[in-house]
Amino acid sequence: MRKFSFGLTLVLVMALLLAACGGGAPAAAPAEQGAGDAAAVDASAPTPEPTPVVNNFGECSDPLVLWHGLTGSDGAVFAELLQQFVDANPDLCLNSEGYPWDIFFQKYPTAVAAGTPPDMVIFHAAEVNQMASEGLMMPMDDIIFNDGTLNKSDFNENLINAITVNGQTMAVPFDNHGWLLWYNTKLMEEAGLDPNVLPKNGAEFIEVAQKLTKDVNGRHPNEEGFDKDNVDVWAIDYTWPRYTIPTTLWQFGGGVVSEDGKTAILDSPESIAAVQYWHDLMYKYYVAPPAIPGKMWAGDLYKNNKLVFMWEGTWTGGFMRDNPDIAAVTKTAYINSLAPDGKQAVKFDSHIMSIPTGVDEDGIAKAKRLMTFLVENGAYWATSGQVPALKSVQALPEVQAIESVATAARQFNEIGRTDLAHKSFIEIQTAWETAVGNALASPTSDVAAALKAGAEQVQAILNRP
Protein backbone atom coordinates (compact mmCIF):
# COMPACT_ATOMS: atom_id res chain seq x y z
CA MET A 1 0.00 0.00 0.00
CA ARG A 2 2.87 2.33 0.85
CA LYS A 3 4.37 1.58 -2.54
CA PHE A 4 1.09 2.40 -4.20
CA SER A 5 0.64 5.64 -2.28
CA PHE A 6 4.15 6.69 -3.11
CA GLY A 7 3.63 5.84 -6.76
CA LEU A 8 0.34 7.66 -6.88
CA THR A 9 1.85 10.75 -5.27
CA LEU A 10 4.71 10.61 -7.73
CA VAL A 11 2.39 10.43 -10.68
CA LEU A 12 0.21 13.26 -9.35
CA VAL A 13 3.22 15.49 -8.94
CA MET A 14 4.38 14.53 -12.42
CA ALA A 15 0.96 15.33 -13.83
CA LEU A 16 0.93 18.75 -12.21
CA LEU A 17 4.43 19.54 -13.29
CA LEU A 18 3.92 18.37 -16.83
CA ALA A 19 0.64 20.22 -17.02
CA ALA A 20 2.36 23.32 -15.73
CA CYS A 21 4.65 23.13 -18.71
CA GLY A 22 1.49 23.58 -20.80
CA GLY A 23 2.81 21.90 -23.88
CA GLY A 24 6.03 23.84 -23.85
CA ALA A 25 7.42 26.03 -26.54
CA PRO A 26 6.68 25.22 -30.13
CA ALA A 27 9.33 23.13 -31.70
CA ALA A 28 8.79 24.84 -34.97
CA ALA A 29 6.98 27.81 -36.28
CA PRO A 30 3.29 27.62 -37.14
CA ALA A 31 1.42 27.44 -40.32
CA GLU A 32 0.63 30.99 -40.84
CA GLN A 33 2.81 33.17 -43.01
CA GLY A 34 3.51 36.83 -42.63
CA ALA A 35 2.21 39.12 -45.27
CA GLY A 36 5.72 39.99 -46.17
CA ASP A 37 6.84 36.44 -46.72
CA ALA A 38 7.44 35.41 -50.26
CA ALA A 39 6.01 31.99 -49.53
CA ALA A 40 2.81 33.34 -48.02
CA VAL A 41 0.00 31.44 -49.59
CA ASP A 42 -2.08 29.12 -47.57
CA ALA A 43 -2.64 29.45 -43.86
CA SER A 44 -3.47 25.80 -43.67
CA ALA A 45 -0.20 24.75 -45.24
CA PRO A 46 2.52 24.91 -42.61
CA THR A 47 6.07 25.35 -43.68
CA PRO A 48 9.18 25.53 -41.54
CA GLU A 49 10.11 29.09 -40.69
CA PRO A 50 13.63 30.45 -40.65
CA THR A 51 15.44 31.07 -37.41
CA PRO A 52 15.74 34.70 -36.30
CA VAL A 53 17.78 36.87 -38.61
CA VAL A 54 20.03 39.22 -36.67
CA ASN A 55 22.05 41.80 -38.54
CA ASN A 56 24.22 44.64 -37.33
CA PHE A 57 24.66 47.73 -39.46
CA GLY A 58 27.40 50.20 -38.63
CA GLU A 59 29.38 50.32 -35.41
CA CYS A 60 28.61 52.24 -32.24
CA SER A 61 28.15 51.62 -28.54
CA ASP A 62 24.41 52.23 -28.38
CA PRO A 63 22.67 50.80 -31.44
CA LEU A 64 19.10 51.40 -32.44
CA VAL A 65 17.37 48.06 -31.87
CA LEU A 66 14.75 47.12 -34.46
CA TRP A 67 12.50 44.05 -34.33
CA HIS A 68 10.48 42.99 -37.34
CA GLY A 69 9.17 40.00 -39.25
CA LEU A 70 10.58 40.74 -42.69
CA THR A 71 12.24 37.35 -43.07
CA GLY A 72 10.99 36.53 -46.55
CA SER A 73 12.53 37.48 -49.88
CA ASP A 74 11.77 41.13 -49.13
CA GLY A 75 14.10 40.81 -46.14
CA ALA A 76 17.13 41.10 -48.42
CA VAL A 77 15.93 44.40 -49.87
CA PHE A 78 15.10 45.60 -46.38
CA ALA A 79 18.64 44.82 -45.23
CA GLU A 80 20.01 46.87 -48.13
CA LEU A 81 17.79 49.78 -47.08
CA LEU A 82 19.10 49.59 -43.52
CA GLN A 83 22.65 49.65 -44.81
CA GLN A 84 21.82 52.74 -46.84
CA PHE A 85 20.43 54.32 -43.69
CA VAL A 86 23.61 53.86 -41.65
CA ASP A 87 25.68 54.99 -44.63
CA ALA A 88 23.65 58.20 -44.73
CA ASN A 89 23.71 58.53 -40.93
CA PRO A 90 27.20 57.55 -39.79
CA ASP A 91 26.50 58.66 -36.21
CA LEU A 92 23.96 55.84 -35.86
CA CYS A 93 24.21 52.08 -35.94
CA LEU A 94 21.53 49.45 -36.10
CA ASN A 95 20.75 46.09 -34.63
CA SER A 96 18.05 44.51 -36.78
CA GLU A 97 16.37 41.34 -35.55
CA GLY A 98 13.95 39.55 -37.85
CA TYR A 99 11.62 36.92 -36.36
CA PRO A 100 8.85 34.71 -37.67
CA TRP A 101 5.68 36.64 -36.84
CA ASP A 102 4.43 34.28 -34.12
CA ILE A 103 7.74 34.53 -32.30
CA PHE A 104 7.71 38.29 -32.79
CA PHE A 105 4.32 38.56 -31.10
CA GLN A 106 5.57 36.55 -28.12
CA LYS A 107 8.71 38.60 -27.68
CA TYR A 108 7.18 42.01 -28.24
CA PRO A 109 4.68 42.16 -25.33
CA THR A 110 6.97 40.34 -22.91
CA ALA A 111 9.86 42.71 -23.69
CA VAL A 112 7.63 45.73 -23.19
CA ALA A 113 6.24 44.33 -19.94
CA ALA A 114 9.75 43.59 -18.72
CA GLY A 115 10.83 47.17 -19.47
CA THR A 116 13.34 46.12 -22.12
CA PRO A 117 11.61 46.92 -25.41
CA PRO A 118 13.41 47.41 -28.71
CA ASP A 119 13.54 51.00 -29.94
CA MET A 120 11.33 50.29 -32.92
CA VAL A 121 9.13 47.49 -34.24
CA ILE A 122 7.57 46.69 -37.60
CA PHE A 123 4.42 44.63 -37.92
CA HIS A 124 1.06 44.98 -39.68
CA ALA A 125 -1.57 47.69 -39.70
CA ALA A 126 -4.29 45.12 -39.03
CA GLU A 127 -2.76 44.31 -35.64
CA VAL A 128 -2.29 47.90 -34.50
CA ASN A 129 -5.61 48.24 -32.70
CA GLN A 130 -4.98 45.11 -30.63
CA MET A 131 -1.40 46.05 -29.72
CA ALA A 132 -2.43 49.62 -28.91
CA SER A 133 -5.31 48.36 -26.77
CA GLU A 134 -2.82 46.27 -24.82
CA GLY A 135 -0.78 49.43 -24.18
CA LEU A 136 2.21 48.25 -26.17
CA MET A 137 2.61 51.23 -28.52
CA MET A 138 3.31 54.94 -28.29
CA PRO A 139 1.11 57.42 -30.21
CA MET A 140 3.07 58.84 -33.13
CA ASP A 141 1.27 62.17 -33.62
CA ASP A 142 3.53 64.23 -31.38
CA ILE A 143 6.62 62.30 -32.45
CA ILE A 144 6.50 62.47 -36.21
CA PHE A 145 3.27 63.90 -37.66
CA ASN A 146 2.45 67.10 -35.77
CA ASP A 147 5.88 68.65 -36.34
CA GLY A 148 5.48 68.19 -40.10
CA THR A 149 8.18 65.56 -40.50
CA LEU A 150 5.64 63.36 -42.27
CA ASN A 151 2.31 64.39 -43.74
CA LYS A 152 -0.61 62.09 -42.92
CA SER A 153 -2.55 63.12 -46.02
CA ASP A 154 0.21 61.65 -48.23
CA PHE A 155 -0.73 58.15 -46.98
CA ASN A 156 -3.69 56.01 -47.98
CA GLU A 157 -6.67 57.31 -46.01
CA ASN A 158 -8.12 53.86 -45.26
CA LEU A 159 -4.78 52.85 -43.87
CA ILE A 160 -4.46 55.87 -41.60
CA ASN A 161 -7.97 55.15 -40.27
CA ALA A 162 -6.96 51.55 -39.58
CA ILE A 163 -4.00 52.60 -37.43
CA THR A 164 -5.81 55.36 -35.58
CA VAL A 165 -6.97 54.27 -32.14
CA ASN A 166 -9.04 56.59 -29.96
CA GLY A 167 -8.10 59.51 -32.18
CA GLN A 168 -4.36 58.86 -31.96
CA THR A 169 -2.25 57.67 -34.87
CA MET A 170 -0.29 54.79 -33.43
CA ALA A 171 2.11 53.99 -36.24
CA VAL A 172 3.77 55.10 -39.46
CA PRO A 173 3.01 53.07 -42.60
CA PHE A 174 6.10 51.76 -44.34
CA ASP A 175 4.34 50.26 -47.35
CA ASN A 176 1.03 49.05 -48.77
CA HIS A 177 0.87 45.38 -49.60
CA GLY A 178 -1.87 43.01 -50.54
CA TRP A 179 -3.46 40.92 -53.24
CA LEU A 180 -2.76 41.34 -56.91
CA LEU A 181 -3.70 39.18 -59.89
CA TRP A 182 -0.68 37.51 -61.51
CA TYR A 183 -1.63 35.57 -64.60
CA ASN A 184 0.12 33.38 -67.15
CA THR A 185 -0.42 34.81 -70.63
CA LYS A 186 1.14 31.80 -72.36
CA LEU A 187 -1.37 29.37 -70.88
CA MET A 188 -4.22 31.71 -71.78
CA GLU A 189 -3.10 31.87 -75.37
CA GLU A 190 -2.69 28.11 -75.50
CA ALA A 191 -6.30 27.81 -74.37
CA GLY A 192 -7.37 30.13 -77.19
CA LEU A 193 -8.06 33.10 -74.91
CA ASP A 194 -6.93 36.69 -75.27
CA PRO A 195 -4.69 37.62 -72.31
CA ASN A 196 -5.81 41.20 -72.62
CA VAL A 197 -9.45 40.33 -72.02
CA LEU A 198 -10.05 39.17 -68.46
CA PRO A 199 -13.32 37.86 -66.98
CA LYS A 200 -15.33 40.64 -65.38
CA ASN A 201 -17.59 38.72 -63.00
CA GLY A 202 -18.13 35.33 -61.38
CA ALA A 203 -20.08 33.77 -64.24
CA GLU A 204 -17.55 34.86 -66.84
CA PHE A 205 -14.73 33.58 -64.67
CA ILE A 206 -16.20 30.08 -64.43
CA GLU A 207 -16.58 29.96 -68.19
CA VAL A 208 -12.96 30.99 -68.70
CA ALA A 209 -11.71 28.77 -65.88
CA GLN A 210 -13.26 25.67 -67.43
CA LYS A 211 -11.44 26.40 -70.67
CA LEU A 212 -8.15 26.85 -68.85
CA THR A 213 -8.28 23.86 -66.51
CA LYS A 214 -7.27 20.55 -68.04
CA ASP A 215 -6.30 17.13 -66.78
CA VAL A 216 -3.25 15.09 -67.81
CA ASN A 217 -5.24 13.78 -70.80
CA GLY A 218 -6.07 17.29 -72.00
CA ARG A 219 -9.74 17.08 -70.99
CA HIS A 220 -11.54 20.02 -69.42
CA PRO A 221 -13.78 19.82 -66.30
CA ASN A 222 -16.96 20.19 -68.36
CA GLU A 223 -16.00 17.30 -70.64
CA GLU A 224 -16.77 13.61 -70.27
CA GLY A 225 -13.97 11.61 -68.63
CA PHE A 226 -12.24 14.54 -66.94
CA ASP A 227 -9.84 13.17 -64.30
CA LYS A 228 -10.13 15.51 -61.33
CA ASP A 229 -7.46 13.59 -59.42
CA ASN A 230 -4.84 14.20 -62.09
CA VAL A 231 -5.17 17.82 -63.11
CA ASP A 232 -2.35 19.23 -65.19
CA VAL A 233 -3.30 22.91 -65.29
CA TRP A 234 -5.53 24.68 -62.79
CA ALA A 235 -7.31 27.92 -63.65
CA ILE A 236 -6.98 29.39 -60.16
CA ASP A 237 -5.76 28.43 -56.71
CA TYR A 238 -7.26 29.18 -53.33
CA THR A 239 -4.37 31.17 -51.96
CA TRP A 240 -3.86 32.62 -48.48
CA PRO A 241 -7.40 32.85 -47.04
CA ARG A 242 -6.39 35.84 -44.93
CA TYR A 243 -6.43 37.91 -48.11
CA THR A 244 -8.49 35.82 -50.51
CA ILE A 245 -11.56 35.51 -48.30
CA PRO A 246 -12.01 39.16 -47.20
CA THR A 247 -11.46 40.17 -50.82
CA THR A 248 -14.17 37.79 -52.04
CA LEU A 249 -16.54 38.63 -49.18
CA TRP A 250 -16.33 42.34 -49.98
CA GLN A 251 -16.79 41.69 -53.70
CA PHE A 252 -20.03 39.88 -52.89
CA GLY A 253 -21.15 42.62 -50.48
CA GLY A 254 -20.52 40.53 -47.38
CA GLY A 255 -17.83 40.61 -44.74
CA VAL A 256 -16.80 39.29 -41.35
CA VAL A 257 -17.98 42.15 -39.16
CA SER A 258 -20.37 45.01 -39.94
CA GLU A 259 -18.97 48.50 -40.59
CA ASP A 260 -19.89 49.65 -37.08
CA GLY A 261 -17.89 46.75 -35.63
CA LYS A 262 -20.81 45.46 -33.58
CA THR A 263 -22.32 42.63 -35.59
CA ALA A 264 -20.87 39.48 -37.11
CA ILE A 265 -21.99 39.18 -40.74
CA LEU A 266 -19.98 36.12 -41.69
CA ASP A 267 -23.25 34.21 -42.08
CA SER A 268 -25.05 36.87 -44.12
CA PRO A 269 -26.45 35.62 -47.47
CA GLU A 270 -23.74 37.63 -49.30
CA SER A 271 -20.92 36.11 -47.25
CA ILE A 272 -22.28 32.59 -47.67
CA ALA A 273 -22.55 33.14 -51.43
CA ALA A 274 -18.92 34.32 -51.55
CA VAL A 275 -17.52 31.29 -49.73
CA GLN A 276 -19.88 28.96 -51.59
CA TYR A 277 -18.40 30.33 -54.81
CA TRP A 278 -14.95 29.11 -53.78
CA HIS A 279 -16.45 25.78 -52.70
CA ASP A 280 -17.98 25.43 -56.13
CA LEU A 281 -14.72 26.31 -57.87
CA MET A 282 -13.04 23.45 -56.00
CA TYR A 283 -15.67 20.74 -55.79
CA LYS A 284 -18.29 21.49 -58.42
CA TYR A 285 -16.37 22.98 -61.34
CA TYR A 286 -12.98 21.46 -60.46
CA VAL A 287 -11.08 24.53 -61.60
CA ALA A 288 -9.23 25.10 -58.29
CA PRO A 289 -7.37 22.54 -56.17
CA PRO A 290 -9.18 21.57 -52.93
CA ALA A 291 -8.25 23.71 -49.93
CA ILE A 292 -6.73 21.05 -47.75
CA PRO A 293 -3.83 21.22 -45.31
CA GLY A 294 -0.51 20.52 -46.94
CA LYS A 295 -1.64 21.41 -50.42
CA MET A 296 0.99 22.60 -52.83
CA TRP A 297 1.90 26.27 -52.75
CA ALA A 298 0.42 28.23 -55.62
CA GLY A 299 3.85 29.61 -56.54
CA ASP A 300 5.17 26.11 -57.19
CA LEU A 301 2.23 25.38 -59.47
CA TYR A 302 2.58 28.75 -61.16
CA LYS A 303 6.27 28.61 -61.92
CA ASN A 304 5.77 25.19 -63.50
CA ASN A 305 3.05 26.48 -65.83
CA LYS A 306 0.36 24.59 -63.96
CA LEU A 307 -1.64 27.55 -62.75
CA VAL A 308 -3.08 30.39 -64.81
CA PHE A 309 -4.60 32.92 -62.39
CA MET A 310 -2.72 33.47 -59.17
CA TRP A 311 -4.12 35.74 -56.48
CA GLU A 312 -0.95 36.57 -54.67
CA GLY A 313 0.78 39.28 -52.73
CA THR A 314 2.60 42.29 -54.06
CA TRP A 315 5.75 40.69 -52.61
CA THR A 316 5.52 38.12 -55.42
CA GLY A 317 7.67 40.63 -57.33
CA GLY A 318 10.67 39.04 -55.62
CA PHE A 319 9.50 35.59 -56.68
CA MET A 320 9.20 36.76 -60.28
CA ARG A 321 12.68 38.23 -60.14
CA ASP A 322 13.99 34.82 -59.05
CA ASN A 323 12.03 33.05 -61.81
CA PRO A 324 12.62 35.06 -64.98
CA ASP A 325 11.19 32.39 -67.29
CA ILE A 326 7.77 32.54 -65.74
CA ALA A 327 8.02 36.29 -65.21
CA ALA A 328 8.43 36.69 -68.98
CA VAL A 329 4.93 35.29 -69.58
CA THR A 330 3.30 36.94 -66.56
CA LYS A 331 1.11 40.01 -66.43
CA THR A 332 -0.51 41.68 -63.44
CA ALA A 333 -3.96 43.18 -63.08
CA TYR A 334 -6.47 44.19 -60.45
CA ILE A 335 -7.86 41.22 -58.59
CA ASN A 336 -10.69 39.94 -60.78
CA SER A 337 -14.17 40.09 -59.38
CA LEU A 338 -15.90 36.80 -58.63
CA ALA A 339 -19.17 38.46 -57.70
CA PRO A 340 -22.25 38.11 -59.93
CA ASP A 341 -22.38 41.87 -60.51
CA GLY A 342 -18.63 42.28 -61.04
CA LYS A 343 -18.13 44.47 -57.97
CA GLN A 344 -14.45 45.05 -57.34
CA ALA A 345 -12.69 45.03 -53.99
CA VAL A 346 -9.34 43.92 -52.69
CA LYS A 347 -7.78 43.59 -49.28
CA PHE A 348 -4.55 45.35 -48.54
CA ASP A 349 -2.50 45.84 -45.42
CA SER A 350 0.69 47.62 -44.51
CA HIS A 351 3.95 47.04 -42.73
CA ILE A 352 3.79 49.73 -40.11
CA MET A 353 6.55 51.13 -37.94
CA SER A 354 5.97 51.99 -34.32
CA ILE A 355 7.74 52.73 -31.08
CA PRO A 356 7.02 50.38 -28.17
CA THR A 357 5.87 51.73 -24.83
CA GLY A 358 8.79 52.44 -22.54
CA VAL A 359 11.39 53.53 -25.11
CA ASP A 360 13.49 56.46 -23.84
CA GLU A 361 13.95 59.85 -25.53
CA ASP A 362 17.17 58.82 -27.23
CA GLY A 363 15.55 55.69 -28.66
CA ILE A 364 12.56 57.71 -29.87
CA ALA A 365 14.81 60.19 -31.63
CA LYS A 366 16.76 57.43 -33.37
CA ALA A 367 13.61 55.55 -34.34
CA LYS A 368 12.14 58.75 -35.78
CA ARG A 369 15.17 59.20 -38.02
CA LEU A 370 14.96 55.62 -39.28
CA MET A 371 11.20 55.83 -39.88
CA THR A 372 11.57 59.02 -41.86
CA PHE A 373 14.36 57.53 -43.94
CA LEU A 374 12.42 54.35 -44.70
CA VAL A 375 9.26 56.19 -45.68
CA GLU A 376 11.07 58.68 -47.88
CA ASN A 377 13.11 55.94 -49.57
CA GLY A 378 10.09 53.83 -50.39
CA ALA A 379 11.13 53.76 -54.04
CA TYR A 380 13.95 51.40 -53.18
CA TRP A 381 11.59 49.26 -51.10
CA ALA A 382 9.40 49.03 -54.19
CA THR A 383 12.09 46.87 -55.80
CA SER A 384 10.95 44.12 -53.41
CA GLY A 385 7.49 44.35 -54.97
CA GLN A 386 5.84 46.25 -52.11
CA VAL A 387 4.03 49.49 -52.75
CA PRO A 388 5.62 52.54 -51.07
CA ALA A 389 3.42 54.07 -48.40
CA LEU A 390 3.62 57.68 -49.56
CA LYS A 391 1.45 58.50 -52.57
CA SER A 392 4.08 61.02 -53.69
CA VAL A 393 6.67 58.23 -53.77
CA GLN A 394 4.26 55.92 -55.58
CA ALA A 395 4.09 58.49 -58.36
CA LEU A 396 7.86 58.56 -58.92
CA PRO A 397 8.95 57.31 -62.39
CA GLU A 398 11.20 54.60 -60.97
CA VAL A 399 8.25 53.19 -59.00
CA GLN A 400 5.87 53.45 -61.92
CA ALA A 401 8.42 51.56 -64.00
CA ILE A 402 7.83 48.45 -61.90
CA GLU A 403 4.62 47.16 -63.50
CA SER A 404 3.33 45.10 -60.58
CA VAL A 405 3.97 47.90 -58.07
CA ALA A 406 2.33 50.54 -60.25
CA THR A 407 -0.72 48.34 -60.79
CA ALA A 408 -0.99 47.45 -57.12
CA ALA A 409 -0.64 51.09 -56.06
CA ARG A 410 -3.50 52.14 -58.32
CA GLN A 411 -5.57 49.18 -57.23
CA PHE A 412 -5.15 49.81 -53.48
CA ASN A 413 -5.94 53.49 -53.87
CA GLU A 414 -9.03 52.80 -55.98
CA ILE A 415 -10.63 49.65 -54.57
CA GLY A 416 -8.44 48.70 -51.60
CA ARG A 417 -9.93 47.95 -48.20
CA THR A 418 -8.33 47.13 -44.90
CA ASP A 419 -9.50 44.76 -42.20
CA LEU A 420 -11.76 46.21 -39.54
CA ALA A 421 -9.65 47.49 -36.67
CA HIS A 422 -10.60 45.79 -33.40
CA LYS A 423 -8.92 45.17 -30.08
CA SER A 424 -9.50 41.41 -30.52
CA PHE A 425 -8.54 41.43 -34.18
CA ILE A 426 -6.35 38.32 -34.13
CA GLU A 427 -8.95 36.27 -32.30
CA ILE A 428 -11.66 37.36 -34.75
CA GLN A 429 -9.37 36.52 -37.64
CA THR A 430 -8.64 33.08 -36.21
CA ALA A 431 -12.38 32.48 -35.74
CA TRP A 432 -13.37 33.30 -39.30
CA GLU A 433 -10.37 31.54 -40.81
CA THR A 434 -11.34 28.39 -38.93
CA ALA A 435 -14.95 28.69 -40.01
CA VAL A 436 -13.99 29.17 -43.65
CA GLY A 437 -11.53 26.28 -43.32
CA ASN A 438 -14.42 24.10 -42.16
CA ALA A 439 -16.62 25.38 -44.97
CA LEU A 440 -14.10 24.47 -47.65
CA ALA A 441 -12.68 21.31 -46.10
CA SER A 442 -14.47 18.80 -48.29
CA PRO A 443 -17.03 18.43 -51.08
CA THR A 444 -19.70 17.67 -48.51
CA SER A 445 -18.97 20.59 -46.20
CA ASP A 446 -22.02 22.63 -45.27
CA VAL A 447 -20.84 26.14 -46.07
CA ALA A 448 -23.78 27.93 -44.45
CA ALA A 449 -23.57 25.91 -41.25
CA ALA A 450 -19.83 26.39 -40.93
CA LEU A 451 -20.12 30.15 -41.45
CA LYS A 452 -23.02 30.34 -39.00
CA ALA A 453 -20.86 28.67 -36.35
CA GLY A 454 -18.05 31.08 -37.16
CA ALA A 455 -20.37 34.08 -36.97
CA GLU A 456 -21.58 32.99 -33.55
CA GLN A 457 -18.03 32.79 -32.36
CA VAL A 458 -17.13 36.18 -33.80
CA GLN A 459 -20.25 37.67 -32.22
CA ALA A 460 -19.27 36.23 -28.84
CA ILE A 461 -15.92 38.00 -29.16
CA LEU A 462 -17.60 41.26 -30.19
CA ASN A 463 -19.98 41.03 -27.24
CA ARG A 464 -17.17 40.97 -24.70
CA PRO A 465 -16.78 44.17 -22.69
Category of 296 on φ-ψ map: left (φ > 0), alpha (ψ -120 to 50) or beta: beta
Nearest to other proteins of 2, 148 (CB atom): 2
- By CB under 8 A, tell whether 165 contacts other proteins: no
Nearest to other proteins of 229, 360 (CB atom): 229
Site for other proteins in 234-263 (CB under 8 A): none
> Can you tell me which of 2, 27, 153, 166 binds other proteins, judged by CB under 8 A?
27
Distance from C-alpha of 172 to C-alpha of 150, rounded to nearest angstrom: 9
> Can you tell me which of 60, 90, 106, 197 binds other proteins, judged by CB under 8 A?
106
The helix or strand, by DSSP H or E, that contains position 432, with its residue range, turns out to be helix 425-439
Q: How far is the CB of 429 from other proteins (least distance, A)?
A: 9
Please state at what angle helix 269-283 crosses helix 447-463, rounded to 10 degrees: 140
Which residues, at least 6 apart from 330, have a Cβ–Cβ distance to it below 8 Å? 182, 183, 184, 185, 320
| Burial group, residue 393, by CB count within 10 angstroms (0-12, 13-18, 19+) | buried
Q: How far is the CB of 154 from other proteins (least distance, A)?
A: 32
Q: How far is the CB of 442 from other proteins (least distance, A)?
A: 6
**Neighbour count for residue 149 (Cβ, 10 Å):** 15
Query: Stretches 37-45, 195-203, 243-251, 372-380: which one binds other proteins (CB under 8 A)?
Result: 37-45
Distances (CA, A) of 90 to 10, 60, 83, 93: 61, 9, 10, 7
Asked if 352 and 178 count as a contact pair (C-beta separation under 8 A), the reply is no
The helix or strand, by DSSP H or E, that contains position 190, with its residue range, turns out to be helix 185-190
Query: Stretches 1-9, 56-64, 164-172, 378-386: which one binds other proteins (CB under 8 A)?
Result: 1-9
Asked if 196 and 332 count as a contact pair (C-beta separation under 8 A), the reply is no
Q: How far is the CB of 231 from other proteins (least distance, A)?
A: 10
DSSP, collapsed to helix, strand or coil, labels residue 302 as: helix
Asked if 83 and 49 count as a contact pair (C-beta separation under 8 A), the reply is no
Total residues contacting other proteins by CB under 8 A comes to: 63
Nearest to other proteins of 188, 453 (CB atom): 453
Nearest to other proteins of 283, 373 (CB atom): 283
Nearest to other proteins of 77, 453 (CB atom): 453
- By CB under 8 A, tell whether 20 contacts other proteins: yes
Site for other proteins in 283-302 (CB under 8 A): 289-296
> Can you tell me which of 44, 337, 354, 407 binds other proteins, judged by CB under 8 A?
44
- By CB under 8 A, tell whether 463 contacts other proteins: no
Nearest to other proteins of 80, 427 (CB atom): 427
Which residues, at least 6 apart from 183, have a Cβ–Cβ distance to it below 8 Å? 195, 198, 308, 309, 310, 330, 331, 332, 333
Nearest to other proteins of 131, 370 (CB atom): 131
Distance from C-alpha of 104 to C-alpha of 121, rounded to nearest angstrom: 9
Interior angle at CA 461, CA 24 and CA 463, nearest 5: 150
Site for other proteins in 385-444 (CB under 8 A): 424, 426-427, 430, 434-435, 437-438, 440-442
- By CB under 8 A, tell whether 167 contacts other proteins: no
Residues that bind other proteins (CB under 8 A): 3-4, 7-8, 11-12, 14-24, 26-28, 30-32, 43-46, 48, 102, 105-106, 109-110, 112-113, 130, 134-136, 229, 289-296, 357, 424, 426-427, 430, 434-435, 437-438, 440-442, 450, 453, 457
